[in-house]
Structure 1
Amino acid sequence: MYASYVRMVTSRRGRGNGLHQQKGKRLEKQKTDRRPASRKCPSNISGYFELTERDPSVDMEAFRLMKELKLNLEQESQYLPKESGLKLIEANPEGKGISAKCRDDKVEDLWSLTSFFGYSTQTFVLAVNLLDRFLAMMKVQPKHLACISIGCLHIAAKVVEDKCDVSSTHELIRISQCKFTVSDLGRMEKIISEKLNFQFQAVTALTFLHLYHAIVLSHTSSRKEILSLDKLEAQLKACLCRIVFSKAKPSVLALSLIQQEIEALQSVDLFEIAQSIQRHLRISETELQLWRGLVAQCLVQYSSPTCSKPNHRKLVWIVSRRTAQNLHSSYCGAPELPTIPEDGWTESEDWSEELSSGEESLSSSLGSDAEGPYFPAHFQKKSAA
């Protein structure tokens, strides 16, 4: 009887353990079913952009890039020069006020000075942005244009470069071969800063160029050697030496440069990524094709051997100490230009005065910026034809 009781208890325990095991398996299965399905990156790049924007857990780096892209897109219009002011400059004939050629020559001089002092591309692009915003806002006399452009470069350098790398005001005036004093430049920088409301952290085409390049590399890491950021930056500099590109939205101009370079590389994958960026930012095909055509035309002209290009080598001299002292006294002595008036920046100011005959453009001789890796070979072939 005892033996039968033991068998009965053992069998019940066995059934109980089996029930517990089955119940445990059911609970485990329920927990497994409740787990979220693993997210996979879709093969469609455009869909990946949308998924990344909704859920940062997909790719934190991609989420950061898309968030930064969206923020800059919202702010880019705040740092555009007034289009009406740019049109007035374009309409001005040479010799009467600030013409488009005067502006373009000064921007090329800024490029030369940027190369000479070893400043970054960001410094040059910001200086051009400050210059265009100021010229589009104020009517100024041509004799002050050199001081304005150097002032914009000095402001940009102080914003972008490390403090130890920023050239002194005295050195900047001496190397630029301009005929104004340190106090003149200081007053000019104050005027520029006040008129631009001290908004120096501008969203520029270079901002979007870096973002687009990073997005492309995040999807095609094996193509770092093909899509060169240095080449794209050099092409952007060439475009900024033409006032027409100051009217372009920075996001559109940067995408035009990216697509132009991708077309030269004949890469289907990269072109698909560029098109996805275009759709994501809702840039119309008409607008993009307009600026792509202007970019292509500019690069063809710039690749031509007859085109005058910035040449920072013209700023380098090897002279004796006595000659250096003579240069110092001749370029930094009493200026030929009158003192810049504090209240002289009004809408009614006369534009009739011409540029000082003593100033020579630093971009009058050919440079090496259109050679080597900076401009695609097919542009040079077109210009040669």
Structure 2
Amino acid sequence: MLRAGARHPDAGPSTSSDAMDMEQVYATLNEYLQMEHKFQPNLCLPNESENGEVTTGARDGAAHVIRCLKVWYDLPADVPIDAISLLDRFLTKMKVRPCHVPCITVACMNIAIEQYAQNNKEARKVSIEELVSISQSACTARDVARMSRVVVDKLALASGARGVTALHWLRLVRALLAPHCPKDQLPPESELVNLLEIVVCDAECVNARVPELALVLLYHKLEQQLVETSRQTGAPLPEQAYQLFEVGAQLQQYCHMSDASLVATRSRVRHVLARYEARAAAPQRQRLVWRLSERTLKVLRPTDRLTSLLPTIEEQHFAVEATPTRNRSGSECSVSEETSDWPRSPVLPVYCDN
């Protein structure tokens, strides 16, 4: 039995305008389910490279570079999520060398920026040259353009076609839950997107089903809000909270999510978020280190004309009979002084006659 207000995706159409909007949401849900297999990655990367393979650490590093580029250029969340999806799908289909991963990463970011500009009918804000310069990928703009064509060809990306990513699923699941959740309890989209960016940058969740990932993230944030509200007010969970969980169970059944798979995805997501929060809460003791290339170092401090070998200084040798006899005064020898102050010390050894 459904509780009051709960509506199954298979329910019949209604006459209200809200019901018409929900019918469109359900139609989008069916469309996403049909295209799910096309955009689902299946990575099998080793933790350590034995035969020159790309590791999970290299993949996570590339994903974090994409996220840093998003923050640097203040790009919308659609761009990095789409770029990481392209990267995972390309690594699933093609076997690449680790030295090509930086170029592939910038190429996926380039494709995502271009697709976002085409879908929203706006001018592109970031050029390929800027991506190459900031990412420090050690490749040229021509290399990125050529690699972008390879990625488009191997993934069969149609011009102007929109890929269904985890962000689309997250917005769709949030829209499905909105009619059953008060506006003050519905998790903000910005917070959900931040959690999604954290999760997709970790290889532990890369092979999880995208609808499961969206459902787990939404209810993870919703549970946190409900527990926090219940602790502040001291009251038990309201009846509407149980209705929200029932809607989630209905969506799970409609999308054919098994309990075992959903529990596994929930465990991985919580582990990744807990590890991220622990890392963020730990004090930062790492010192800031600037790493410069040889070319940049020569520009900042030219050393091409300097040599490591210095010419030998020949000492003057006097005859024994020509050398005047001198006695050292009663002052202390300079050898006993602190050598650390020697370059700055004005004291010099003094010689005097008898």
Mapping 1:330-345, distance limit 5 Å? none
Structure-1 separation of matches of 2:65 and 2:51: 19
Instruction: Say if 2:111 and 2:148, in contact at 8 Å, map to a contact too.
Output: yes
Q: Which residue of 2 aligns with 1:264?
A: 224
TM superposition shift of 1:155? 0.3
Q: Which residue of 1 aligns with 2:131?
A: 172
1:300 aligns with 2:286: no
Equivalences for 1:15-164 in 2 at 5 Å?
43=4, 45-47=6-8, 49-51=9-11, 54-55=12-13, 57=15, 59-81=19-41, 83=42, 86-87=43-44, 89-90=45-46, 92-93=48-49, 96-161=52-117, 163-164=122-123
- Partner of 2:233 in structure 1? none
Alpha carbons of structure 1 residues 56 and 286: separation in structure 2 relative to 1, 3 Å: same
Structure 1 residue ranges, 4+ long, deviating more than 6 angstroms after superposition: none
Q: 1:236 and 2:196 equivalent?
A: yes
Q: Which has the larger radius of gyration?
A: 2
2:190 maps to a residue whose letter is D
Please give the alpha-carbon distance, in whole angstroms, between the structure 2 residues aligned to 1:135 and 1:246: 11
Query: How many angstroms apart in 1 are the aligned matches of 2:250 and 2:82?
Result: 28
The answer to which structure, 1 or 2, has the higher relative contact order (CA under 8 A, 6+ apart) is 1
Number of aligned residue pairs: give it: 265
Answer yes or no: is the 8 Å Cα contact 1:217–1:224 preserved in 2: no
Distance of 1:202 and 1:100 partners within structure 2: 24
Q: Distance in 2 between matches of 1:149 and 1:182?
A: 13
In 2, the alpha carbon distance for the partners of 1:265 and 1:91 equals: 36
Cα shift at 1:290: 0.9
Tell me, what secondary structure is at the counterpart of 1:189? helix
User: For 1:213, which of 174, 184, 196 is the aligned residue?
Assistant: 174
- Asked whether the equivalents of residues 301 and 307 of structure 1 are also in contact (C-alpha less than 8 Å), the reply is no
Q: Please provide the CA RMSD for this pair.
A: 2.6
Amino acid in structure 2 at the alignment position of 1:55: P
Are the structure 2 counterparts of residues 60 and 175 from structure 1 closer, same or farther at C-alpha, using a change threshold of 3 Å? same
| One-letter amino acid of the structure 1 residue matched with residue 15 of structure 2 | S
Query: What displacement does 1:126 show?
Result: 0.7
Q: CA deviation at 1:232?
A: 1.0
**SS across alignment from 1:67:** helix
3-state SS, counterpart of residue 203 of structure 1: coil
Q: Which runs of 5+ in 2 are unaligned?
A: 227-240, 283-287, 289-294, 300-354
Partner in structure 1 of residue 213 of structure 2? 253
Tell me the CA shift for residue 307 of structure 1.
8.6
Higher helix share: 1
> Cα gap change, 1:225/1:299 in structure 2, threshold over 3 Å: closer, same or farther?
same
Q: The residue matched to 2:75 in structure 1 has which SS?
A: coil
Structure 1: runs of 5 or more not aligned: 1-40, 309-313, 315-325, 331-385
State the identity as a percent: 25
What is the one-letter code of the residue matched to 2:46?
E
Per the TM alignment, residue 57 of structure 1 is displaced from its structure 2 partner at its CA by 3.2
Structure 2 Cα separation of the partners of residues 110 and 307 of structure 1: 23
Aligned in 2, Cα 1:100/1:234: closer, same or farther, shift over 3 Å?
same
1:93 alignment partner AA:
S
Measure, in 1, the Cα distance between the counterparts of 2:128 and 2:281. Answer: 31
Contact 2:165–2:210 (CA under 8 A) maintained in structure 1:
yes
Structure 1 residue 132: Cα displacement = 0.7
